[in-house]
Amino acid sequence: GYVSDSKVSRRGAKLAKEDIDRAWQSDAIVKTRVLKDRWVAEIALPVKSLGAVSLSSGATWVANMNRSRNVATEDKADIQFMSWSPFLRKSFHDLGRFGSLRFVTAPTDPTKAIMRNGSFETAKANGQPEHWYFPGDLPPEGKAGAFLDTTTYREGKHSVRIVNDTQRRVIVAQVGLPGKEGQLETGKKYRLSFFIKGENIVLLDGGNPKFHGAYANVFSHRNIFFPPTKKYTGTFGWKKVAFEFTSMPPLKGATKIPPDYLRLGLQDASGTVWFDDVRIEEVE
């Protein structure tokens, strides 16, 4: 492969040859490595070479790092391995669906509500990811249960895979979210986001036709389900979803307030679902 720099300053509805400055140099340092199961590209890009761009909290850069085409005849699930942006529908000119880099100020308060081990990268001695509760008496591979998956993932090198064939519900959970006494702050707005992938998720015989499929569930003095109506079913490649919600106050008269939790589940449905890069963040 090769690396080349060019600067584009579009002045009309269509890109013209004179809009491209091929003499421009970014002074970027690019290194690649071939590993056993992947290749890695690392880029050090001097911000000063980009002109007047903002790196303040909230600034966003649109980016398609691999500049790979969206091949219309290929399985959409495979596109994720060829592009920074698995959501492209047209080609690498589909600007509105490129990935983005969003700059944020690193939190200084460790009690802020940020998911612990949301990408499942650190594991306990028993092979389960730290800070997550899995169903007890885990069955062998191929049966209903939850597993740490090291072959299918969207971020890092792990994901959580939930499989169901006969059970009403299979869930994994993080209990005690990182806030005061394990609770989100009442009245504050949060954003839950995660990557999800599904395979053959269908209603079980005798299952609830109004509530079946894969979902995420936040408990903050009330149960809140995401999506709020129809759950994820069928077969689909990795996609990122996000939902905003407001933490609720305790019920009147409650004497014992349990810690808040997040659950990822597959209910009243057979099939397989993967979750990765799970986050809960405060909305500014």
Q: What is the pLDDT along the chain (284 residues), one digit of tens a residue?
A: 677 788 877 777 777 788 888 888 888 888 888 877 777 778 888 888 877 777 777 777 777 665 555 566 666 555 555 555 556 666 656 666 676 777 766 655 544 547 889 999 999 888 889 999 988 765 555 567 899 999 999 888 899 999 998 788 899 999 988 777 788 888 888 999 999 999 999 999 888 888 899 999 998 888 888 888 889 999 998 888 999 999 888 878 777 788 889 999 999 999 999 999 999 988 86
Neighbours of 162 (CB within 10 A): 25
**What is the structure's pLDDT at 118?**
92
Which CATH architecture describes the domain 145-282? Sandwich (2.60)
pLDDT of residue 111: 47
Give the integer Cα–Cα distance in Å for 189 and 179.
14
C-alpha span between 196 and 154 (Å, rounded): 9
**pTM for the full predicted model:** 0.66
Looking at residue 87, its pLDDT comes to 60
Q: Where, residue-wise, is CATH 2.60.120.260 in the chain?
A: 145-282
Q: How far is CA 233 from CA 188, 194, 209, 237, 269, in A?
A: 31, 16, 12, 12, 8
pLDDT at 213: 94
Asked if 34 and 17 touch (Cβ cutoff 8 Å), the reply is: no
At residue 218, what are phi and psi to the nearest 5 degrees?
Answer: -100, 130
